[in-house]
Amino acid sequence: MKSCLSLAPGFLLSATIASAETTATPPPTLHEMGFLEVLAKGGVTMFPLGILSVITVILILLFLLTIRRNAIVSDRFMSSAEAMIQKRDFMGLVAYSHRRNECMARITQKTMDFISSNPGVPFENVREVAQTEGARQAGMLTSRITYLADIGAIAPMIGLLGTVIGMIKAFIEISSGGVQGVKQMGLAEGVSEALIATAGGLTISIVALIFYSLFRGRVHKYISELESGATYLVAIIQQQLERHQNQSFGQPVQPRGREDYAMPVPSPLAGERPDMRGI
């Protein structure tokens, strides 16, 4: 009994010291990772995703500057082209279209070049040339914005590849770790790499598809205006060509008088001539 009482103060002293050490030890602080540090934890697939993100930004800025109404069909060009067609200044219209950098100018230039190099050609051929060039310009506008759709489809696939690589690394760490804590840390690192790669791919894909939808609506609107403007100019050109042909070959026929339909007068040499006998 006396021995137990003598050991009690020792236990109390040791407990007090342990509790004091516990309270004196500060809790470990969590290190806040920056955005670039998080991206660095995404693994090797973050490099192609970074390249895709740069390409996406460049395409978006380029399309914002180039896919505009004045770059497709402008009111200034339409007014100038109509005035030149009314004046029959076709060569001036060709030179003016060559200086302008817009889709309607390319259609007008091709059409006027064909008319100048093939005078007298049926106007159906002229219309086909204009329609073909208009279809080519519309196809070029549509094909340009499809790059954003391609990026929107490729980026999630790269992110999914990063997910698979991260999960493979996590399971390799689990299978090779000797201590339970090492296994857990290896699993957490692999899963975080997988999630970062997936998030990066989805972010790039979402941004690319949003701007693709925006530019697709713009392109469809401007293509409709391009078709309308081209049809109007072709109609004016046809009117001017037909008017020129009527002025050149359609001269009115002068009416004939009654004397033009009278009986012919007998020639004085039609009778017998005595001096011609015997010849």
DSSP 63-102: HHHHSSHHHH--HHHHHHHHHHHHTT-HHHHHHHHHH--S
How far apart, in Å, are the Cα atoms of 180 and each of 126, 190, 194, 219, 262? 81, 16, 22, 59, 130
C-beta of residue 129 within 8 angstroms of C-beta of residue 108: no
* pLDDT attached to residue 57: 93
Q: At what angle do helices 123-176 and 46-66 cross, to 10 degrees?
A: 160
* Digitized pLDDT (tens) for each residue of the chain, 279 residues in all: 444 444 444 444 444 544 444 444 444 454 565 656 666 666 777 888 889 999 999 999 999 888 888 888 888 888 888 888 888 888 888 888 888 888 898 998 888 888 888 877 888 888 888 888 889 988 988 988 899 999 999 998 988 888 888 777 777 766 665 545 555 555 666 677 778 888 888 889 999 999 999 999 999 999 988 888 888 888 888 888 777 766 655 544 444 444 544 444 454 444 555 544 544
pLDDT of res. 23: 46
pTM of the predicted model as reported, rounded to 2 decimal places: 0.66
Per-residue pLDDT, 28 = 47
The HSE-up count of residue 204 (CA atoms within 13 Å, CB side) is 31
| Residue 182 identity (one-letter amino acid) | V
Place of tokens 């100038």: 80
CA distance 88 to 115: 12
Phi/psi-derived region of residue 43, left when phi > 0, alpha when psi is between -120 and 50, beta in every other case? left
CB distance 170 to 189 below 8 Å: yes
* Cα three-residue angle 263-268-272, rounded to 5 degrees: 120
Cβ distance 97 to 108 under 8 Å? yes
Structure confidence at residue 210 (pLDDT) = 92
